[in-house]
Structure 1
Amino acid sequence: MSDTTASIRRKIEGVKDLRSVVSTMKALAAANIGQYEKSTLALKDYYRSVQLGLSACFRAGTPPARHVAAKTGANRGVTGVIVLGTDHGLVGQFNESIALHAAQTLALLPGRKKIWAVGERVQDRLVDLGISVAEVFAVPLSIKSIIPLTGEILLRILAPALSEGVNVEGAEGKGGNEMNTFYLFYNAYRSGLTYEPFHQRLLPLDESWRRELLQLPWPARNLPEMVGGNIVTLHALIREYLFASLFLACAESLASENASRLTAMERAEKNIDELSTELQKTFNRLRQSRIDEELFDVIAGVEAARGEAK
């Protein structure tokens, strides 16, 4: 009986240590969500400003079609895809949900695909779903580390196009196999510690994209006037648009990762508390049983002593 109570006591101590670890992970996840939320909100404001700048370019005068619209047959090239996951643990079904969403969406898209994964674990999930991954990027560990990742991805996207004379706004290059279409897949952060798999088309910046920007309401009564060349300004804003889109996707993915971890830690904390309560009840029951046995032994000894005295 004593071995059993000692074993349960060790389990109770182990559960307390585990709860301390879970509480620490929960606090870190909550702190990280705060900074990623602030970064996401700030970047959304900047992203909106870039969109308005592009809208102003188009309102000031429509550039030549070669600068904003895809030529006929531009979509015959390879479809580029970036899937943002995580290599960090305790995130529940984070990688599984975005990998499944990417697989289901890509199955509906025609043509060849070139898949890039951010994180080795999401790469494994994609491979399990029958999707081959061309390259894997390291998962950013902080807001500051998003900038190098975004720059590297943009360089990979734009460098072949620029070297071969491909227009990033959708024009077809000489080879015919360039990544004229590009998609982003990531878990988008939602309020209330929730997220959902999401995807957006990053390229081409075609006529439909231009029309969407033209429909944006201007926040003032007077329409803006362009200073300098429209095409130069347009290209500068396009670079900022691509950078902001990638940065925002990475920031939302990191916020979603920490939201998933925080939710997982809250569930673990609840389960640990329930387990601790059950172990404590079992320990108390066994200890009371041992005390009762000892009392019965004492009473039996007293009764036996009385019998001998008579």
Structure 2
Amino acid sequence: MAESISDVQHRIASTKNTRQITTAMQMVQTSKLNQIQKSAIGYQDYVSRVKAVVMHLAKSQLLNDASSNLQSDRTVKKTAYLVVTSDRGMVGSYNSNVIRDTNTFIKDRQAGNDDYVILAVGGTGADFYKKRGENVAYEYRGVSDIPTFNEVREIVKTVSNMYDNGEFDELFVCYNHFVNRLTSDFRGEKMLPVDQEALDSAKSEEVEEKQLSKSYDVEPSIEDVLQVVLPQYAESLIFGAILDAKTAEHAASSTAMKSASDNATDLISQLELKYNRARQAAITTEITEITGGQEALNQ
């Protein structure tokens, strides 16, 4: 059944209202993206310094000569994957990409379902893995749009305690790395234990190579220093990953809302064309009827 002119008018009005909402949401997400990018720029300087310190300690063999609760040479019996997703939708393919790439990452590393656990940051990932019967050992929902260091410290403390208690023997963080407003790349980085593999995976261009002495004078002791430095290192990496993931999330949401607004504009153009044609046809029919009636009266 063909749509009436009033039905087309209603669809045009409804689509325009939807476009207003998606345009407003795009503006909000763009604003959040700009804010979190400013936070990320300031944080990158801090995290690069922490990485540099730990890498220099590794080169000086201090990490091998001392022990810390974040270091371990224990046999890996169970691996944890901390998966960072969003708590809500309207982010395009952001969540599906993270989950798909994480599943591939896990499949390439694990032989069975009993030798790994999921640590979910974000409701989408938590719900996905729980519905499929995966072992979700920890979930955190409601990460702020602009995460703070103190907020993420709660996550790090819980994860570190689980590691210390032997609930898992190594930790990988899986998330989408923000490249630009249109592009993000999946990353699966080893965070715990702090060993050479983790240092190599965390090494980035931000870490400047400096010529430093490989011998250190340590006070009060190597162990006491590492008890301060290594937790800061783990906190900085996990916070950086969540901050990076949130940046990619806002970019994905902004792009999705722009796409929705553009699609709404295209649909409105099509509906307006359809409306004008229907109105023109109705006017033509009315003119024909009037002309026919006039001719009938003249006979």
What's the TM-score bracket when you normalise by the shorter of the two chains? 0.7 to 0.9
Deviation at 1:271, TM superposition (A): 1.5
- What corresponds to 1:6 in structure 2? 6
- What corresponds to 2:93 in structure 1? 93
Q: Where does structure 2 lack aligned partners over 5 or more consecutive residues?
A: none
Q: 1:205 aligns with which of 177, 194, 197?
A: 194
Deviation at 1:60, TM superposition (A): 5.8
Give the TM-score, by structure 2 length: 0.84
RMSD: 3.1
1:303 and 2:292 aligned:
no
Alignment check: 8 A CA contact 1:58 1:214 kept: no
Alignment check: 8 A CA contact 1:75 1:181 kept: no
Deviation at 1:153, TM superposition (A): 2.0
Change (3 A) 1:226 1:45: farther
CA distance in 2, matches of 1:218, 1:90: 41
Tell me which structure has the larger Cα radius of gyration.
Answer: 1
- What corresponds to 2:233 in structure 1? 241
> Where in structure 2 are the equivalents of 1:218-233 lying within 5 Å?
218-219=209-210, 228-229=219-220, 231=222, 232-233=224-225
Deviation at 1:119, TM superposition (A): 2.4
What's the CA shift string for 1:77-122, capped at 9, x where partnerless? Answer: 4212211111212112222221222222222235721211122321
1:250 and 2:242 aligned:
yes
- Amino acid in the other structure paired with 1:20: Q
Secondary structure of 1:80's match? strand
Alignment check: 8 A CA contact 1:147 1:247 kept: no
- What corresponds to 2:43 in structure 1? 43
- What corresponds to 1:109 in structure 2? 110
Secondary structure of 1:182's match? strand
> Where in structure 2 are the equivalents of 1:25-64 lying within 5 Å?
25-58=25-58, 62-64=62-64
CA distance in 1, matches of 2:186, 2:61: 37
Alignment check: 8 A CA contact 2:189 2:201 kept: no
Alignment check: 8 A CA contact 2:191 2:198 kept: no
Task: Tell me the number of residue pairs that the alignment of Structure 1 and Structure 2 aligns.
Answer: 290
Deviation at 1:185, TM superposition (A): 0.9
CA distance in 1, matches of 2:234, 2:56: 17
- Once the two structures are overlaid, the 10-residue window that deviates more, 243-252 or 117-126, is 117-126
CA distance in 1, matches of 2:167, 2:236: 23
- Once the two structures are overlaid, the 10-residue window that deviates more, 229-238 or 16-25, is 229-238
Deviation at 1:256, TM superposition (A): 1.3
- What corresponds to 2:169 in structure 1? 180
CA distance in 2, matches of 1:240, 1:292: 77
- Amino acid in the other structure paired with 2:8: I
CA distance in 1, matches of 2:25, 2:203: 45
CA distance in 2, matches of 1:208, 1:303: 93
CA distance in 2, matches of 1:18, 1:211: 47
Change (3 A) 1:21 1:299: same
Alignment check: 8 A CA contact 2:171 2:193 kept: yes
What's the CA shift string for 1:280-309, capped at 9, x where partnerless? Answer: 0111011111111121222223323333xx
CA distance in 2, matches of 1:21, 1:201: 40
Deviation at 1:183, TM superposition (A): 0.9
- Once the two structures are overlaid, the 10-residue window that deviates more, 21-30 or 205-214, is 205-214
Deviation at 1:61, TM superposition (A): 6.2
Alignment check: 8 A CA contact 1:80 1:182 kept: yes
Q: Where does structure 1 lack aligned partners over 5 or more consecutive residues?
A: 165-176
CA distance in 1, matches of 2:19, 2:182: 21
CA distance in 1, matches of 2:132, 2:162: 29
CA distance in 2, matches of 1:82, 1:210: 18
Deviation at 1:205, TM superposition (A): 1.0
- What corresponds to 1:294 in structure 2? 286
Secondary structure of 2:175's match? strand
Change (3 A) 1:64 1:256: closer
CA distance in 1, matches of 2:142, 2:187: 18
1:140 and 2:131 aligned:
no
* Identity over aligned pairs, percent: 21
- Amino acid in the other structure paired with 1:104: T
Change (3 A) 1:226 1:32: farther
Deviation at 1:210, TM superposition (A): 5.9
Alignment check: 8 A CA contact 1:96 1:125 kept: no
Alignment check: 8 A CA contact 1:184 1:200 kept: yes
